[in-house]
Structure 1
Amino acid sequence: MSDDPIRLVTIGRMLRRRWRLLAVLAVVGALVGYGTSVLFPPRYTASASVLLPGQWEERELLTQAEIAASSAVVDRTAATLGWRDVSAEELRDRVSAEAADGNIIKISGTAETPERAQRLADRLAQQFVAFATRVAGGGTDPEAASGPDALRQQVRETNRRITDLAEAADPGRTVESVQARTSLEKLRTALEEAMKKLDQADPAADQAGMVVMGPAARPTGEAPPTRTQLIGGGALLFFLLAVIGHLAAARVNRRPRTEPEIAAALGAALLGTVDVPVERHTHRPGGRGPRAWTRRLLGLDTRWDTPTPQRYADEAATRVRYRRVCARLRDQLPAPRRLLVVVPDSDAIARRAAGQLVAEAGRDPAPSSSRSSSSKGCPTLRVVEVPVSRPIVPDRDSESGALIVLSAGHCTTGELTGVAEACADAGHEVVGVVVATTVRTRPPRTADHPPKNATPALAGHGHATGGSA
């Protein structure tokens, strides 16, 4: 697993190299969202407001909102509506109520059409007011509901009786009559204060005054999620999943990317890094058929997580790298001999680097008698392509050693180990590793002179089959 942090440049590279695939997946997500909107028809939501006069605490308002959305109110509403296609259980899922500012309970209902949504909200508000008033009045017991009224009537009768007794008493002629009139007035005042406190403590006095603040407004737009929201949400979801999938695949990528890691996986010495000039899309692998065409169209035939190629310096600097690799290879071998250049069959960059390396080795002159006895010529190279899934290297015959050429990040550690084992199984010692990197070429020349850095044809190309070379 890679421990490198995910940077914005990595995301930008992915968007630039995989934009076709991401666009296709976004379109697929939009189609999925559209199909979801077809399966679930649009719905509309209407709201009605109920005013609660008097002083109410916040928890009391929340209680009233719960009552408005309770099954008792919804069942009564369903009975009055008489909708045969919607049951009371389904209607409970379409109803909601919340406490708003200013002692207002906002009741909402959702239906398939604006007309039915408006009618549902109005009936819910009416049934809520009726139910709340009925509960505040003492339930369904007529005697309990008439108890406060009977008490008020008795108080009024008592006041009249007190007035009659006060008039019948001797008006101020004796001390006893004055005391009696004073006691009667005190009794009248106490009764009036008791009735005021009773009225203030009666919850039905406030709840009986609940008012529906007009009919619900007919909705003009669909309730969320709308068809547009489903289509946009599906496209965004698929796009984000594709991006996350690419980043997760990059995090768990086990392909060695640095020269020391590649050399360690192959168990050989690193001879150097060479440059391969490429133009845009020239390093795409070939292939025929609908599957290969689809991969090229979506950009899946090339890796997106490889670094952007650096600018091409010049032909002289590029040839210097190849000559240095040949020099290290010549110094490492005790005597000139023939070597196999092992290249992964799907690595087009390594294939071009191997061809250039073979051509550069062919330019190295053989040792002459004027040179010292210690001078050695460059070994003769022959390119062999092997499949990394099941690598098979030709048996040792005229060649006695293998030079592995590959590009960074192309093979996993297990695949590199398999190539090294295949070389050892064929009797070839891995004498070194060469890593090929891509560089961007300059714009095409306008003159008639051909470029000097034309890559020569592969020398002595062989096939990855068993047996003698």
Structure 2
Amino acid sequence: MSEDTIRLVTIGRILRRRWRLLAALAVVGALVGYGASVLFPPRYTASASVLLPGQWEERELLTQVDIATSSAVVDRAAAKLGRGDAGGDLRERVSAKAADGNIIRISGTADTPRGAQRLADRMAGEFIAFAARITGGDDTGPEAATGPEALREKVTETNRRISDLADAADPGRTVESVQARTSLEKLRTALEEAMKKLEEADPASDKAGMVVMGPAVRPTGEAPPTRVQLIAGGALLFFLLAVVGHLTAARMNRRPRTEAEIAAALGSTLIGTVDVPAEPGARRPEGQGLLARTRRFLGLGTRWDMPAPQASGDEAGRRIRYRRVCARLRERLPAPRRLLVVVPEDDETARRAAGRLVTEAESGPSAGGGDPLLRVVEVPASQPVVPDRDTESGALVVLSPGSRTPEELAGIAEACADGGHEVVGVVLADAVRVRPARDAGRPAPAEGAAPALAAPGHGTGGSG
């Protein structure tokens, strides 16, 4: 699987075989999200809309948005709300954005709905006051109120004095008087044009009068992320991390799965492949502690990345496979010999296959006339220790494909060599699914019906 492309069937296999573990991790993630919601209290957000009359370009609106959240406006709002020097903290709780129709929406976030409403309204009011002060449209000062009107009065008085000077000049009698009247008229025209341009350039003439479009609506729900969102996000995050972790472990898996790879790692040859009916509910007598029960409940004791057990034939077909293994051992051994059957202690399928192999060797038709005498020895895969050679003259390794790493297989071979045992062969044990009986009244096939059982296309195939 380390070289295969990850497909949907792989995801489905994870969900089907490790759903309890994934559910447990999702619950843990939900608890972490709940803890985060306790550490970070809920927040509420309210928004107030400010209308900017007149024609505004996009860059001008963006400038007003920056002004609405500037330190000058925020500090004034903090002072009015009685926060003192908390303008820096308040700046992180306010925001503004330009909406359609020359509208700036100012939002405030607080711990309570009422606090959020007050903050949004105060920010809108301070923004309007500050913008009016910048554009000169602030009517709070007496100078600002009388400045434009006084300028208009000065221009009117100047025009009247120009008219008086023009009338006082001797009209048409001398060249100097004509030139004086012409200069006075030019001065009058220049003053009128300057006053007209001043009125047109006055920003308060068409862009003043910002108004708040009603008070901010008091929020009825929490601002995201809410407690429910944190709980759901934590559960989803832990669930996805668990799935990604399974996929990463599968991609990094280097356990040999083929018969040739396993035999090469043990430095021996393959004797055959046998079928073992899958029994998910079977329990070994050891490992009944709390940790072992938890591992079994979560499904950690079984490999999720192994293919689903394939359908097997009947009992007679499975028995023929065990007899073939005994026959090949008899052919490889010139005389009746005693062999150790080495099985990894955590490989339940191999342990059951070894027990069945011993039974067939003792009760087969060649028992006592050539079949070797087998004795099962279970060894830990991490630090295997095989008994020293006594009456046995070799070792037969039985294991499940894809269950051991190359290092573990090499360790088992070295342990056999240290005990003085030659590894005469390898037997692979495949977990299979027993087919239900097709017809209860149909007689079982005869024991000698080998051609039908040996037909090609068997689910577990191989060299059984």
Which 10-residue stretch deviates more, 275-284 or 238-247? 275-284
Q: For residue 212 of structure 1, what is the aligned residue in structure 2?
A: 212
Tell whether 2:130 aligns with 1:119.
no
Encode CA deviations 1:144-200: one digit per residue, 9 max, x unaligned.
997655543322222333455667789999999999878766654443332222233
Q: Is the 8 A contact 1:283 1:348 kept in 2?
A: no
Distance 1:256 1:430, change over 3 A: same
Q: For residue 457 of structure 1, what is the aligned residue in structure 2?
A: none
How far did residue 118 of structure 1 move? 1.0
Q: Is the 8 A contact 1:272 1:434 kept in 2?
A: yes
Q: Is the 8 A contact 1:50 1:105 kept in 2?
A: yes
How far did residue 108 of structure 1 move? 0.7
How far did residue 440 of structure 1 move? 0.9
Tell whether 2:45 aligns with 1:52.
no
Q: Is the 8 A contact 2:53 2:208 kept in 1?
A: no
Alpha-carbon separation, structure 2, partners of 1:402 and 1:433 = 9
Encode CA deviations 1:3-36: one digit per residue, 9 max, x unaligned.
2222211111111111111112111211221222
SS in 2 for 1:76: helix
How far did residue 399 of structure 1 move? 0.7
Correspondence list, 1:260-339, <5 A: 260-282=260-282, 287-339=287-339
Q: For residue 159 of structure 2, what is the aligned residue in structure 1?
A: 159
Distance 1:216 1:170, change over 3 A: farther
Q: Is the 8 A contact 1:75 1:88 kept in 2?
A: yes
Q: Which consecutive unaligned segments of at least 5 residues does structure 1 have?
A: 369-375, 454-469
Encode CA deviations 1:320-354: one digit per residue, 9 max, x unaligned.
32222223222223333111111111111001111
SS in 2 for 1:400: coil
Read off the aligned partner of 1:293 and give its amino acid letter.
R
Q: Is the 8 A contact 2:338 2:391 kept in 1?
A: yes
Q: For residue 75 of structure 1, what is the aligned residue in structure 2?
A: 75
Which 10-residue stretch deviates more, 62-71 or 253-262? 253-262
Read off the aligned partner of 2:419 and give its amino acid letter.
A
Q: For residue 437 of structure 1, what is the aligned residue in structure 2?
A: 430
Q: For residue 129 of structure 1, what is the aligned residue in structure 2?
A: 128
Read off the aligned partner of 1:326 and give its amino acid letter.
C
Tell whether 2:28 aligns with 1:28.
yes
TM-score by length of 1: 0.84
Q: For residue 461 of structure 1, what is the aligned residue in structure 2?
A: none
Q: Is the 8 A contact 1:94 1:109 kept in 2?
A: yes
Tell whether 2:347 aligns with 1:354.
no
Which 10-residue stretch deviates more, 274-283 or 380-389? 274-283
Encode CA deviations 1:83-139: one digit per residue, 9 max, x unaligned.
47x922211110111122222211111111111111111111111111112122299
Read off the aligned partner of 1:318 and give its amino acid letter.
R
Alpha-carbon separation, structure 2, partners of 1:215 and 1:183 = 58
How far did residue 232 of structure 1 move? 0.8
Q: For residue 104 of structure 2, what is the aligned residue in structure 1?
A: 105
Alpha-carbon separation, structure 2, partners of 1:172 and 1:221 = 84
Q: For residue 19 of structure 1, what is the aligned residue in structure 2?
A: 19
Alpha-carbon separation, structure 2, partners of 1:356 and 1:415 = 24
Q: For residue 41 of structure 1, what is the aligned residue in structure 2?
A: 41
Alpha-carbon separation, structure 1, partners of 2:367 and 2:253 = 46
Encode CA deviations 1:359-389: one digit per residue, 9 max, x unaligned.
2223444499xxxxxxx82322221111112
Alpha-carbon separation, structure 2, partners of 1:37 and 1:367 = 71
Q: For residue 377 of structure 1, what is the aligned residue in structure 2?
A: 370
Alpha-carbon separation, structure 2, partners of 1:314 and 1:59 = 82
Alpha-carbon separation, structure 2, partners of 1:289 and 1:91 = 56
Q: For residue 196 of structure 1, what is the aligned residue in structure 2?
A: 196
Q: For residue 234 of structure 1, what is the aligned residue in structure 2?
A: 234
Alpha-carbon separation, structure 2, partners of 1:284 and 1:201 = 93
Tell whether 2:419 aligns with 1:393.
no
Read off the aligned partner of 1:98 and give its amino acid letter.
K
Q: For residue 462 of structure 1, what is the aligned residue in structure 2?
A: none
Read off the aligned partner of 1:11 and give its amino acid letter.
I
SS in 2 for 1:403: strand
Which 10-residue stretch deviates more, 308-317 or 148-157? 148-157
Q: For residue 245 of structure 1, what is the aligned residue in structure 2?
A: 245
Which 10-residue stretch deviates more, 68-77 or 263-272? 263-272
Read off the aligned partner of 1:116 and give its amino acid letter.
G
Q: Is the 8 A contact 1:365 1:377 kept in 2?
A: no
State the percentage of identical aligned residues: 74
Correspondence list, 1:3-18, <5 A: 3-18=3-18
Which 10-residue stretch deviates more, 320-329 or 337-346? 320-329
Question: Pick from 399, 411, 414: which aligns with 1:418?
Answer: 411
Which 10-residue stretch deviates more, 87-96 or 190-199? 190-199
SS in 1 for 2:393: strand
Correspondence list, 1:163-174, <5 A: 163-164=163-164
Distance 1:43 1:172, change over 3 A: farther
Read off the aligned partner of 1:420 and give its amino acid letter.
A
How far did residue 241 of structure 1 move? 1.4
Q: Is the 8 A contact 1:285 1:346 kept in 2?
A: no
Q: For residue 458 of structure 2, what is the aligned residue in structure 1?
A: none
Q: Is the 8 A contact 1:52 1:206 kept in 2?
A: no
Read off the aligned partner of 1:111 and give its amino acid letter.
A
Alpha-carbon separation, structure 2, partners of 1:366 and 1:225 = 74
Q: Is the 8 A contact 2:52 2:211 kept in 1?
A: yes
Q: Is the 8 A contact 1:169 1:181 kept in 2?
A: yes
Read off the aligned partner of 1:415 and give its amino acid letter.
E
Alpha-carbon separation, structure 2, partners of 1:218 and 1:237 = 33
TM-score by length of 2: 0.85
Alpha-carbon separation, structure 1, partners of 2:146 and 2:289 = 90
Q: Is the 8 A contact 1:250 1:305 kept in 2?
A: yes
How far did residue 70 of structure 1 move? 1.1
Alpha-carbon separation, structure 1, partners of 2:364 and 2:424 = 19
Alpha-carbon separation, structure 2, partners of 1:202 and 1:378 = 113
Alpha-carbon separation, structure 1, partners of 2:206 and 2:185 = 31
Distance 1:124 1:359, change over 3 A: same
Which 10-residue stretch deviates more, 230-239 or 189-198? 189-198
Alpha-carbon separation, structure 1, partners of 2:258 and 2:199 = 88
How far did residue 225 of structure 1 move? 0.8
SS in 2 for 1:54: coil
